[in-house]
Each structure stands twice: as C-alpha cells, then as structure tokens.
Amino acid sequence: MFMRRQMMTVALEEGEEGAVGAMAASPLGDPAPSLGPLDTLLPEDVEAMERLRQRLQTHWGLLQTTAALGKEAEGKKGKNLD
C-alpha cells in the first residue's frame, strides 16, 4: 500500500498569511503555527460583532455569553427551594 501526500498551494495576500497558513496546515496534518500576538480590534469591528452576536443569540442558545449564563445562575441561587 502506497500513501501519497497531496500538495496544496495557497496564494496569500499581505496581512492574511498568518491566518490562512494556520488554516491550511491543519488539513495537511501539520501542527498549526503560532499566530503570535493579535492586533487590537477596531471599535467598529467590535460593535458589528456584538450586533451580530445579539441577533444570532435569540436563535441559537450556544451563542449565549458566559456572562449572561452567570447572571441566570446567580438569580437562581437567591431562590432556595427548601
């Protein structure tokens, strides 16, 4: 039985090589490289992500934040069912 490693070529644009390289490494069986320190997010990107999270949260319970789940748990703690 012969195993042949397939080759994948990825053209990278400047600024995207870190993320694309990490994504391309995994399907090839290579360990993902360290992406290094992350840049600070732009405020408008953070706001857009938060709006999207709030919109999707109503449809998928998995998107609830741990903070929201923590608040629910605290509210239930105060109500003893003894």
pLDDT in tens, 66-81: 666 666 666 666 555 5
**Higher confidence at residue 4 or residue 56?**
56
Band the pLDDT of 1: cuts 50, 70, 90. Answer: very low
pLDDT in tens, 15-41: 566 667 667 777 777 776 676 787 888
CA 41 to chain centre: 14
Cβ(22)–Cβ(35) under 8 Å? yes
Placement of tokens 């012969």 in the chain? 2
